[in-house]
């Protein structure tokens, strides 16, 4: 079934949409009670909704854009929150198209202020959005060309998660509102653990099934988008 992607401001989401979002999260995560969900959602600016033709919700991702001052320079950071796409819809390009186009629009509104994507990954499926979208990011199985990404990532993680961040292992291990992948969602299908990106994620975040998160960072600009994403977005 074809999906339609839209960007909605959080304050514009009605109760019915919030119910569907919470229900979808509960299908794949444990520990997502309604107050926790609402508190996390309220800290975001907007959400990309992936809706079926019959109105059913097949996925979403939340995000907030912040202005940061780092080493004497202003920059903008897109922090991604909850991200989930239901089984059976993960080959759809609706999320790539909708989220990617919105990020391009953000980048073009203030081209003189760099725009970065700050993503935390509890599961390999979320981590794989990075190599899908970006050519250069940290941490990457192929190494990172931009040496500034790692110290900037540490700065951002410390500011947001404080003592929950383990800088030696580069993992977020303890924080308020911790959730966990349900066992069926946490299981890596046989053979997939040998794929480069999956193997790298598992090596960097062996406690993913206990709720540990791997923080990641990449620059959001056309030059850093993968050829696939540039073709989809026609840029």
Please report the pLDDT score of residue 191 as a whole number. 78
Query: Is 28 a residue whose pLDDT tops 90?
Result: no
Residues 152 and 225: beta-carbon distance below 8 Å:
no
Query: Is 150 a residue whose pLDDT tops 80?
Result: yes
Mean per-residue pLDDT over the chain, rounded:
90
Reduced to 3 states, what is the DSSP secondary structure of residue 162? Answer: helix
Please report the pLDDT score of residue 84 as a whole number. 87
Please report the pLDDT score of residue 83 as a whole number. 87
Query: Is 185 a residue whose pLDDT tops 70?
Result: no
DSSP labels for 19-60? HHHHHHHHHHEES--HHHHHHHHHT-SEEEEEEETTS-EEEE
Residues in the chain: 235
What value does the mean pLDDT take over residues 183-205?
81
Whether the full predicted model's pTM is greater than 0.85, yes or no, is: yes
Query: Is 175 a residue whose pLDDT tops 90?
Result: no
Residue corresponding to tokens 């993960």: 90
Residue corresponding to tokens 């401001």: 9
- Write the DSSP symbol of residue 223: G
- Is the four-CA dihedral 207, 208, 212, 214 of positive or negative sign? positive
Percent of the chain residues topping a pLDDT of 90:
68
Regarding beta strands 73-85 and 115-121, do their DSSP bridges make them parallel or antiparallel, or are they unpaired?
Answer: parallel
Closest CA to 127 of 139, 115, 135, 145: 139
Closest CA to 114 of 80, 146, 161: 146
Cα dihedral: 85, 87, 88, 94 (round 10): 10
Query: Is 183 a residue whose pLDDT tops 80?
Result: no
- Write the DSSP symbol of residue 226: -
Regarding beta strands 214-219 and 137-138, do their DSSP bridges make them parallel or antiparallel, or are they unpaired?
Answer: antiparallel
d(CA 30, CA 156): 26
Residues 172 and 157: beta-carbon distance below 8 Å:
yes
């Amino acid at each position: 079934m074809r999906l339609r992607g839209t960007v909605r401001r959080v304050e514009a989401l009605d109760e019915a949409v919030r119910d569907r979002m919470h229900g979808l999260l509960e299908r794949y995560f444990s520990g997502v009670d309604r107050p926790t969900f609402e508190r996390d959602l309220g800290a975001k600016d907007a959400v990309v909704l992936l809706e079926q033709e019959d109105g059913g919700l097949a996925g979403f991702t939340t995000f907030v854009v912040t202005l940061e001052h780092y080493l004497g320079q202003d920059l903008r950071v897109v922090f991604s929150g909850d991200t989930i796409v239901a089984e059976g819809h993960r080959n759809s390009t609706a999320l790539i198209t909708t989220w990617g186009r919105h990020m391009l629009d953000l980048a073009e509104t203030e081209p003189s202020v760099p725009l970065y994507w700050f993503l935390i990954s509890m599961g390999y499926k979320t981590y794989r959005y990075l190599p899908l979208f970006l050519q250069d990011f940290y941490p990457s199985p192929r190494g990172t060309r931009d040496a500034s990404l790692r110290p900037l990532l540490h700065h951002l993680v410390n500011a947001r998660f404080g003592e929950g961040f383990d800088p030696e292992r580069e993992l977020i291990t303890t924080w308020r509102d911790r959730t966990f992948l349900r066992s069926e969602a946490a299981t890596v299908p046989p053979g997939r653990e040998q794929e480069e990106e999956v193997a790298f994620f598992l090596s960097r975040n062996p406690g993913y099934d206990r709720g540990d998160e791997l923080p990641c960072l990449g620059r959001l600009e056309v030059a850093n988008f993968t050829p696939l994403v540039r073709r989809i977005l026609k840029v």
